[in-house]
Amino acid sequence: MRSTYRAILIAYRVLPWQNISKIQRIYTKNPPTAKAVPPPLGKEAFAFVDFAREMEYSYWQVLPVGPTGYGDSPYQSFSAFAGNPYFIDLPTLIEEGLLSVEDCNEIEWGEKPETVDYGALYMGRREVLHIAYKNSKHQDTKEFKEFCKKNEYWLRDYALFMAIKDSLGGQPWQEWEMPLRCHEEAALTKMEQKLSEEVGYYMFCQFKFDEQWNRLRKYANRKGVAIIGDIPLYMAMDSSDVWAHYDLFELDALRREINIAGVPPDLFSATGQRWGNPLYRWDVMEAQDFDWWKRRMTISAERYDVIRIDHFIGIVNYYSIPAESETAMNGEWKKGPGEKLTNIINEVVGEGKIIAEDLGVVTQPVVDLMEANEYPGMKVLEFALDCTPDNPYLPHNFTSNNSIAYIGTHDNETLHGCLSGKSDWDMGRIREYFGIGRQESVEDALIRAAYRTHLHTAIFQMQDLLGLGNEARMNFPSTMGSNWQWRMKKEQYEKINVQKYQTMAWMYRRQNRNPILPEEEEEETKEEA
């Protein structure tokens, strides 16, 4: 990462919108009434890669792609290893003969294409993917058998976990009967036999996700676009990982949390953020040579070209909150594994493939560890808009180029939303500091400012490139009910003035210089990847 000097595109909710009408024109002469299909790993995603390349972007950063759990947050996943079945491309399954257009059109996907309806998505996806599973003959294929063998560490536990959960009406595993709650093999074998059909279904979904994701990533790489993945530091309590590997987490004999993760009071919350994730038993993990982390980073490195570790500072110092506390105000800082873990990460992933999310309470040991590993951190320009001279997020205070310039993140307001709340005095200071003339919008000027910093990489949320307000904000920390719902439509990014960004890429030496590989070299590239 350190040697690169590029512009990066970040697109939230992972993939653009696709309409089934396109499929109908391809597959039927007399198409039924079109209905909107949720974002897939299909043609629209490939088209977005082409768009990123045209914009001269070298990377596409995505949110975590694991199956979402409580609150629909991608940072509270049912698994550190599994992929989200919501992203499986239905048109591809139609092409493979596993679904019909009518199967898809009978499902209600939600009323608004720009907003994710998780309830409708949950019900609709389950229905059509079950149809595809029943029509599939994958069980005896070489590819499926190899997939199962390669992923045996987590696949069975995840599939069984989800099947049991479904059979119990979605109950968290801590409410299961003790033999199941305690992951006793006899109880597991009995449930695996009883729920064999559902276990097989969840394995099928992972097989298809993996197949389609790899196809997309290889296409992106062939176009010279790398994918930056995002992984949360902690696991959701209600996850197959905590259930199956309870000894690695701070749980008591009844599998209840002892201490949980979060952060102390900050700009986002006066009472801190109580995330609820169980903390790791770092001593136990070290005694096992960080095997779980090795496996987690191995699959992450296979899925992404670069990996952003969310809440990286928790590797050095982590905030421990007693599980019974209602807020994060009564926690304490404790020492994490530090270089013991980063050494393992580097061994598995390789050099130059980690981004450290270093926002929050950044102590000197955090800085030292990042510098020792040459991990780039984050400089968020929205944090600089008070324009006080000593603000560390103002460009003149950047002491190294080994950081990444962000306008904002998934936890921030959109740029337009942030600026709309500023006073005339604040806007005057912003215009003065960034040298914004009256003919240029502040939004455009701040994007330009990120381009022209000496930091080796600049990242932009699609909401900001589209000039959207807080109606498109992705997440409001410490709240539930309206987060993670924004979805980009293809017609939105097609209206972007591509030439403007191409010119900025040329002017500030941020062009994508990676070659586009010829079609005939794709198979050879797949083997090398």
504 lies in some domain: yes
Cα–Cα distance between 238 and 241 in angstroms, integer?
9
C-alpha 395/C-alpha 215 separation (Å) is 38
Q: So what's the pLDDT on residue 4?
A: 45
pTM of the model: 0.91
251, part of any domain: yes
Is there a domain that residue 175 lies in? Answer: yes
Residues of the chain with pLDDT under 50: 2-5, 11-37, 522, 524-529
Contact 128, 140 (CB under 8 A): no
Burial class (CB in 10 A: 0-12, 13-18, 19+), 122: middle
* CB contact at 8 A, 84 and 209: yes
Is residue 1 one of the residues assigned to a domain? no
Tell me whether residue 129 is in a domain. yes
Strands of 254-375 (E only): list them.
259-263, 273-278, 306-310, 317-322, 332-335, 354-356
Instruction: Examine the residue annotation and report whether 310 is marked as an active-site residue of this protein.
Output: yes
357 is annotated as an active-site residue = yes
Q: How many structural domains does the chain have?
A: 1
pLDDT of residue 70: 81
Q: How far apart are CA 81 and CA 297, in angstroms?
A: 9
Q: In whole angstroms, give the CA distance from residue 294 to residue 319.
A: 23
Q: Which pLDDT value is given to residue 317?
A: 96
| Catalytic option among 89, 250, 357, 443 | 357
Cα 473 off chain centre by: 16
Catalytic residue among 95, 117, 411, 444: 411
Alpha-carbon gap, residue 478 to 436, rounded angstroms: 34
Choose, from 310, 382, 413, 443, the residue flagged as catalytic.
310
* CATH at 436: 3.20.20.80
Q: How many CB atoms lie within 10 A of CB 141?
A: 12
- Report if residue 308 sits inside a domain: yes
Q: Which residue from 243, 230, 273, 276 is spatially nearest to 74, judged by alpha carbons?
A: 230
Q: Quick one: pLDDT at residue 344? A: 97
Q: How far is CA 115 from CA 25, 187, 521, in A?
A: 25, 41, 39
Query: DSSP class of residue 280?
Result: B
Amino acid at 191: M
Note the pLDDT tens digit of each residue in 371-428. Answer: 999 999 999 999 999 999 999 999 999 999 999 999 999 999 999 999 999 999 999 9
DSSP reduced 3-state for 363: coil
Domain extent at residue 120: 6-528
pLDDT at 501: 97
